[in-house]
Amino acid sequence: MADSKTILIAEDSSVILNLTKKILELQNYKIITAKNGGEVIKQVEKQKIDAILMDLNIPVKDGMTCTREIRGHQDQEISKIPIIAVTGNANNYS
C-alpha cells in the first residue's frame, strides 16, 4: 500500500463516513477522516493529502469555509488539493 493515494473524508455522519471509508479502502486508498472543519485544516497541514471528499454541512467550519481556507493556503501543495463537495441535503445545493 506504499503507493496508495491518501483521501481525507470530511464527514460528521458516522454511518456515511464508515460506508465511504470501507468502499475506498476496498480500492486500496489510504483514508484519513475528519468529523469537523477544524480537523480538516489540521489534517491537510499535518500530512500529504491527495484528495478530499468534503461534506458541505460539517460542524465548526462548514465545507465551503474549509474549501476557501484550503484554496487560499500559502502552501501551494495544500491549496491545489482536489476537493469534491458532497452533501446529503440536495435542497440547499442543487
Domains of the chain, with CATH numbers? 6-89 (3.40.50.2300)
Tens of pLDDT along the chain (94 residues) come to: 457 999 999 999 999 999 999 999 999 999 999 999 999 999 999 999 999 999 999 999 999 999 999 999 999 999 999 999 998 766 655 5
Residues 6+ apart with CB under 8 A from 30: 1, 4, 5, 6, 7
pTM: 0.90
